Amino acid sequence: MPELDDLPGAIACDYTLVEAGEARVVPGGVIDESLLSIYVNGESLATMMCSPLQLEALAVGYLYNEGIIECAADIGHLQLNQTKSVADVILRHGDARLPRRMILTSGCGGGMTGQELSASQPALPSDFSASPELVLRLMRGLQSAAKLYQAVRGVHTAALGAASGILVSAEDVGRHNAVDKVAGAALLAEIASRDRILLCSGRISSEMLGKARRMAVPIVVSRTAPTSISLALAQAWRICVVGYARRSGMRVYTHPWRITPLGLSFSDV
């Protein structure tokens, strides 16, 4: 285990290990969790439980995925307070449509969003596809980027990938937050998310799929399972959902034509 003093986002915590009928105290750690409130033009927009890492990227990505900004240049000023519990954002345009009430987003699913998810959004026009080998290679890259998870577990990882490898990655107690951080980091680094592959460690819910559609990502990959609503949305939006991508296998749930093994073609279902 790495030294936790040098690993932001984790806190040292000894615990008692019980195994083989014996108990012993061993050094370990737990995930640090904090509260972040986002204010836009002086108005309270959202409060969320999150990991205290990449908070600027989290704020930017959240605003983008909620449709409040279109690019990082829409933000005139972004500042965290001294305790990093508040992100103050001033937009360059003053006519942003914000929710009338504060949004409370939970750290890991069940959160509310201001943008309604529906299949009425247009399908992605992209014909982007990827090989199974690339998908699995990127999943290995996702695992390598999961430094906090390797140290103390209890955290989700998300990443944006391309043929060249992992472009940006993020970890957070909430899988939705991790995706927002990836979106924000890509915007701040001027890395296009269109025609990329979004990888995540957690369940693919309808909210996660909505963020992928906002980012114009045609392939979403997870180590675990999607939900029924996320698959319905993925089918309508021409997004390929891949679950249980582990070692040498995967489950392709929607638009399998986007996964193109050499010498084998899929018909769209």
Q: What residues are labeled active site?
A: 108
Handedness of CA 172, 178, 184, 186 (dihedral sign): positive
| Under 8 Å between Cβ of 185 and 170 | yes
Question: Residue 65: helix, strand or coil by DSSP?
Answer: helix
The type of residue at 95 is D
The number of beta carbons lying within 10 Å of the beta carbon of residue 211 is: 27
Q: How far apart are CA 13 and CA 229, in angstroms?
A: 39
Kindly report the number of other CB atoms within 10 A of residue 266's CB atom: 15
In angstroms and rounded to an integer, the radius of gyration of the C-alpha atoms of the chain is 19
As a dihedral over the C-alpha atoms of residue 139, residue 225, residue 216, residue 196, rounded to 10 degrees, the angle is 10
Cα 210-68-220 angle, rounded to 5 deg: 20
